[in-house]
Structure 1
Amino acid sequence: MSNIVDPLVGQIAARVRTERERRRWTLAQLADASGVSQAMISRIERGESSPTAVVLGKLSAAFQLSVASLLALAEGQRQDVPDSAGVRRSGEAAEWRDPDTGYLRRQISGPHFPAEIAEIRLPAGATVPYPAAAFAFVRQVVWVLDGRLTFHDGDTVHELDAGDTIELGAPAPRVFANTTDSDCRYVVVLIRGPQP
């Protein structure tokens, strides 16, 4: 793997460590809850490794946060967006790239907006699976802007083309796949639902 240059790696490291410590979990407890090795969690927390989308999915599931929420919390640490209306230029939006697949996530909404909105670019041939727990306590809509998204919602597969949307129901294992030879671009809109 090449040297990590993504500036968000440090924010993700701090957020994972903060979420683990807030729960008073050891590395071993988080490893057991997430299925991610202690060694990998330790490297992530030290900012030595950029987690993949799959690893983030497992960690967010253990924390009962969505991947978007985990990333938004990390991104929120470096955004200077006021509580009132503000303009964020294209180059100012926080971006995160999965080192494994090249999946690129750009945060559209700021940390004070009631919905989390992100634009995703899923490269040709990329597949990103998430466990059901990553979707606990959230309501989510996926809106395909360009290309084709093959979306696995549990055992059901949906072929979504530009303009198509899907509103996600109860948590299920989900896979975002691009089986075409060109990028797929989609928007994810997420709001937190009630927790027990």
Structure 2
Amino acid sequence: MPTVFTHAIVPLAFAAAAGRGVISPKLAIAGAVLTVIPDADVIGFRFGIEYADGWGHRGATHSLVFAALFAGFISLTWREARSLAGFAFLTLAMASHGLLDTLTDGGLGAAIWWPFDNARIFAPETPIRVSPIGAGFFSMRGLETFISELKGIWLPCLGIALVGWMARRATTLRD
């Protein structure tokens, strides 16, 4: 999996690209928080749920359906998210977790299509190193992971944020 920081950068970049008028700072932060929710599935290990199980790590909680259901609940209960844009943003924020996990070079892949298909999948290219857990993050492998995330996720996200900002600025200058 990518690191928790990298999961959070995706919705923050899209919120920056869209601007405060579309995605409020509170909604942007909520999106960043939602990106870590799918990994709560690791608690299943304590209860004997196997990694490859449908509810195991990178299973149901990493799917597009789970992201939409979770975001839908939040959109129904939180005024800040009670719009089509808010729902769509939160869904994409949470779904980005599983999608990023398909770009990693280890594990079993992610069950993106659950409940329609329990298959764990990887993207055709897997440029992101799987993040080491615990103290291993502060090792050479942790550094390699961070560098792969910078190249494969952070730089493209920076580009998305800058393009959105420049487009909004150009529109403002024209008006």
TM-score, scaled to structure 2:
0.30
Which is bigger in relative contact order (C-alpha 8 A, separation at least 6)? 2
Q: Which has the higher helix share?
A: 2
